[in-house]
Amino acid sequence: MDQEPLISPSPRDAEAVRDFFNGWNLYRRIVENDYLCHDSVRQALSGWLDGLERPFSFLDLGCGDAAFSSGILNGRAIASYTGMDLSPVALDLARGNARQIAAPVSLVHGDFVTEIGTLPASYDVIYLGLSLHHLSRPEKEFFFGELRRRTAPGGTLLVYDPILSPGEVRDVFMGRWVDHAKWTWKALTMEEIDGAVEHVTTADFPEEIGTLNRMAVSAGFRPAEVLFTDRSDFYALMAFRGE
């Protein structure tokens, strides 16, 4: 299982990401208020899963407390559930939430960039929810290759992530995202919003769908079928099928 990472350490601050998500309560309140479009993504993802005909294995990378995926998988015929996350606090919560999944559950603590290669299987569905954007561009490129190697024949990678509009640069995205959060996240205090803004503006590196498509295609996926984009053009749910 000991595997040398194939890429050198990146400028990404994995500890800062882990520390933010160890304070899980703030993220949970953001999700409960649907500030990141989880309700619409839940609908789109559930509809897509309805089309799968046989019990499928499900790998949930950056699973957090697994509440979102467990809710979607509850009542479905699935073969296995594997969740992986950097945050031990989130994984403790995941142990409880994943009990509603009627399949063998495995929860793995670690950085998915380096640990995905240690997993013993390939998966019919790999779901990457709101976590790809923490990687630098070279890491994303490397990681798409790893994801392809872990996608079972006929399997699909599902990515829910913030996205840049075509031609948009990161600073412009951040400007409109911060304005949006400050104006519309009424259920949070200013301190909580400042905490979220600090995290997003320092740790998030969204890409255009076109850039993700280029990485995915060179790793051996088909270009994305876009299952959902929100009205403000902040988030998308994309399905990349293995060739």
For residues 155 and 162, which CB has a smaller minimum distance to ligand SAM in the complex? 162
Closest contact distance (angstroms) between CB of 129 and ligand SAM is: 3
Residues in touch with ligand SAM (CB under 6 A): 14, 17-18, 21, 31, 62-64, 68, 84-87, 90, 111-113, 129-131, 134
For residues 135 and 164, which CB has a smaller minimum distance to ligand SAM in the complex? 135
Closest contact distance (angstroms) between CB of 127 and ligand SAM is: 8
- Do 162 and 173 form a contact (C-beta atoms < 8 A)? yes
Q: Which pairs from 75-81 meet CB under 8 Å and 24+ separation?
A: 75/102, 76/49, 78/102, 78/103, 79/55, 79/103, 79/124, 80/104, 80/105, 80/106, 80/121, 81/105, 81/106
For residues 64 and 155, which CB has a smaller minimum distance to ligand SAM in the complex? 64
**Helix residue ranges, H only, 163-240:** 170-184, 190-203, 209-219
What would you measure as the largest C-alpha separation in the chain, in angstroms? 48
Q: Which residue sits closest to ligand SAM, CB atoms considered? A: 62
Closest contact distance (angstroms) between CB of 24 and ligand SAM is: 8
Closest contact distance (angstroms) between CB of 183 and ligand SAM is: 21
